[in-house]
Amino acid sequence: MCGIVAVVGKNQAYKYVLEGLKRLEYRGYDSSGIAYFSEKKLNHVKSVGKLNKLIKKISLLDIEPLNKSSLAMGHTRWATHGKVDLNNTHPIISNNKVAVVHNGIIENYKFLKNNLLLDGYAFNSLTDTEVIPHMFYKYLKAGKSFLESGRLILKLLEGAFAFLAISNDNKNEIFVSRKTSPLVIGMGDGFHVVGSDAQSISHMVDKVIYLEDGDYALISDLEVKIFNEKDENVNRRTINVNIDHGLISKEGYRHFMEKEIFEQPSVLINTISSLINENNEIVLDLEKIGIQINKGITICAAGTSYYAAMVGKYWIEKLSGISVNVDLASEYRYRSPVTSSFSSMLVISQSGESIDTLMAMREGKKSNLKTCAIVNVDQSTIDREADHTIYTRVGPEIGVASTKSFTSQLIVLLMLALKLAKKLNKINMKQYLKFVDDIKVLPSTLSKILKLNDKVIDVSQKIKNAKNVLFLGRGNLYPIALEGALKLKEISYIHAEGFAAGEMKHGPIALIEEDLPVIMFLTSDGLEDKAISNLQEAISRGANTILISDKKCINKSQFFTSKIEIPSFDKDFNSIFAPIFMAIPAQLLAYHIARERGTDVDQPRNLAKSVTVE
Ligand code: AGP
């Protein structure tokens, strides 16, 4: 989703801004631009498409004045209002005097625009953003200061957003504001920077200030003045960021997604070791999470994180008997949920910035639920606002399609289920220790599963030209069917759907035709015969059926077109672990099909890594 980077007080500011925008590329965008002052004028360059197009355009400019320019502000745009074209690309300019870059949505922009049209302002873009530079221009012309203009504008704006403004009259200042969308200020020596996240500015600074919701600031080379929603001048805590300098590399893999799939065994060691101590205890603090054993837990999340939540419900209810409600975050906030039977809300988010999940968490807080976040990104908004956080610790995930964050979320949820089961005496010490031992060897089991790569490539060859694909699963593998379908559709653009196998005859079976790929995840959980019989109708109608299954049930039926056997990590294969194992072939399959089809695997069309608008 959109990204912002700005620098004030550093020569060659534009270069640092471009580097920062590169670091935000993973979020997804479809155009980019920068604004800067040179030779006393406000200038801007914009380009549609990837950043290298913008960089090329800039390289054709007169470099000397550009090098001398010590203020620059850049933006990567993910289109919401108005199509992808130069007019709608940020920075959005008013009367060659004010430039604005903006993330999020101004919900009342139509009303503001109508007023500005009546005042004689012309609109060159279809963006909601354009009302902001025009209002700045209007207030500055009326004699208001830059800060006062920004303050007045903020009183008029409704929505969730972050924006930066610069003006020709104030060539050493940036007006910065955030309401819901994240923004971080970097503290340099004789200069300051602003970015959408700490990673985007960590090549320039290692001390940052996170603006709080509703904060705005006036930033110059030597000063940062921050104000809260009540217009009080406030101090916010400066913290040290410990983020790898330099761009994260693909380390020889073709795509970040491929790297992130294959690094799961190594990074999941971090997740596991941070949650199991040397005495084999799971170090999750149930009190801090807000769990009361006579009350239920409600979980909110979006996309892949939501599917992790679905598996979590299955595990927590099965192992501990505590009731779990799972909601799509985007639905929760608007559905007037009854919360009296719950004590805590878990929110799951890789980025910690998904607006729907953040807003669901705020709803939970309003209903007096204790909130606990399972996030990957330290200091993300959800992390900072939750009452308690459990980190998945798998490092930056750059590919838009979630992979390692999904398996790490599953591991956290499984450990929570076990902790609860032990506390409620639903499992004995021997069973508990066996689970812990199995979790500890998960990374090496996942390494074995990744060796199925060639087998998955063979299967992907057979389905890469399909127009539709169905994924089926039962029990804790139903969410994996949904996740497999999401992964495939988002990066290969093949239409894919996931279904609970038992639902086939209630409708989806109408879709079955000769050669339609139907992929079934199956594990020995006692339901395998039922699941196979659910598929019999598809087999007899000529579907191209692919079975992904453990050793015990791989030979349950000889009628499958292809089979992928998941290696068990010991004799007593425990089907509880099946979702974690089966996620790997689902990820590999989507990856290889997309790669074969030549799509932009890491930044698929129309998608963003952190969805920070509703
Ligand atoms: C996953 O592959 C997707 N790109 C998407 O569904 C994602 O999981 C969702 O947007 C939630 O993101 P979050 O975990 O960062 O909140």
Q: Give distance in angstroms: CA of 299 to centre of ligand 1.
A: 15
Strand order in the sheet with 224-227: 92-94, 98-106, 159-167, 170-179, 216-219, 224-227, 233-234
Task: Determine the residue of 400, 611, 612 to mutate for testing ligand 1's pocket, defined as the one with the most ligand atoms within 8 A of the Cβ atom.
Answer: 611
CA distance 75 to 174: 14
Please name the residue whose Cα sits nearest to atom 7 of ligand 1.
303
**What average pLDDT does range 526-541 have in this prediction?**
82
Q: Which atom of ligand 1 is nearest to the CA of 302?
A: 11
Confidence of residue 248 (pLDDT cuts 50, 70, 90): low
Across residues 513-518, what is the average pLDDT? 92
Q: Tell me which residue has its CA closest to atom 13 in ligand 1.
A: 349
For the record, the structure tokens of 139 come out as 């207030």
pLDDT per residue as tens digits for the range 289-337: 999 989 999 999 999 999 999 999 999 999 999 999 999 999 998 999 9
Ligand 1 center to 165 CA (angstroms) = 30
Pocket test for ligand 1, best of 256, 305, 311, 605 (most atoms within 8 A of CB): 305
Residue nearest to atom 6 of ligand 1 (CA): 303
Q: Residue 573: what pLDDT?
A: 62
* Ligand 1 centroid, distance to 114 Cα (angstroms): 36
CA–CA distances in Å: residue 142 to residues 83, 145, 165, 418: 33, 9, 17, 64
Q: What does each C-alpha distance from 454 to 73, 459, 514, 565 come to in angstroms? A: 46, 9, 26, 12
**Pocket lined around ligand 1, Cβ cut-off 6 Å:** 302-305, 349-351, 354, 357, 400-402, 490, 610-611
Reported in sequence order, the residue ranges of 124-273 that DSSP labels E, i.e. its strands, are: 159-167, 170-179, 184-187, 192-195, 207-210, 216-219, 224-227, 233-234, 238-240
Q: Which fold does the domain 247-448 belong to in CATH?
A: Rossmann fold (3.40.50)
**Please, which pLDDT band fits residue 283 given cuts at 50, 70 and 90?**
very high
Taking the centre of ligand 1 as the mean of its atom positions, its distance from the CA of residue 112, in whole angstroms, is 33
Ligand 1, atom nearest to 607 Cα:
4
**Residue with CA at minimum distance from ligand 1 atom 16:** 349
Q: How far is the CA of 402 from the centre of ligand 1 (A)?
A: 6
Distance 302 CA to ligand 1 centre (A): 6
Segments of the chain assigned to CATH 3.40.50.10490: 247-448, 451-607
Residue 145: phi, psi to the nearest 5? Answer: -75, 170
- For Cα atoms 603, 609, 611, give the angle at the middle one, nearest 5 degrees: 130
Task: Please give the torsion angle defined by the CA atoms of residues 472, 478, 480 and 486, in that order, rounded to the nearest 10 degrees.
Answer: 70
Q: What is the topology classification, in CATH, of domain 2-243?
A: Glutamine Phosphoribosylpyrophosphate, subunit 1, domain 1 (3.60.20)
451-607: CATH topology is Rossmann fold (3.40.50)
Q: How far apart are CA 509 and CA 400, in angstroms?
A: 31
DSSP code at position 509: G
The residues annotated with a catalytic role in the active site are 2, 609
Full-model pTM: 0.79
Q: Cβ contacts of residue 287 below 8 Å, gap of 6+?
A: none
- Whole-number pLDDT of residue 569: 56
In this structure, of 213-217, 259-263, 375-379, the range with the lowest mean pLDDT score is 375-379
Secondary structure, 3-state, 68-118: HCCEEEEEEECCCCCCCCCCCCCCEEECCCEEEEEEEEECCHHHHHHHHHH
pLDDT over 90 at 114, yes or no: yes
Greater pLDDT, 86 or 179: 86
Burial of 244 (0-12, 13-18, 19+ CB in 10 A): exposed
Ligand 1 atom closest to 610 (CA): 15
Which of 353, 354, 392, 410 to mutate for ligand 1's pocket (most ligand atoms within 8 Å of CB)?
354
Residue nearest to atom 4 of ligand 1 (CA): 401
Q: Is the pLDDT of residue 407 over 50?
A: yes
Q: What is the location of CATH 3.60.20.10 in the chain? A: 2-243
Q: Is residue 503's pLDDT more than 70?
A: yes
Nearest CA to ligand 1 atom 3: 401
Query: 305 alpha carbon to ligand 1 midpoint, in Å?
Result: 6
Contact 34, 73 (CB under 8 A): yes
Distance CA 450, CA 163 (A): 43
Q: Ligand 1 atom closest to Cα of 405?
A: 14
Asked if residue 97 has pLDDT above 90, the reply is yes
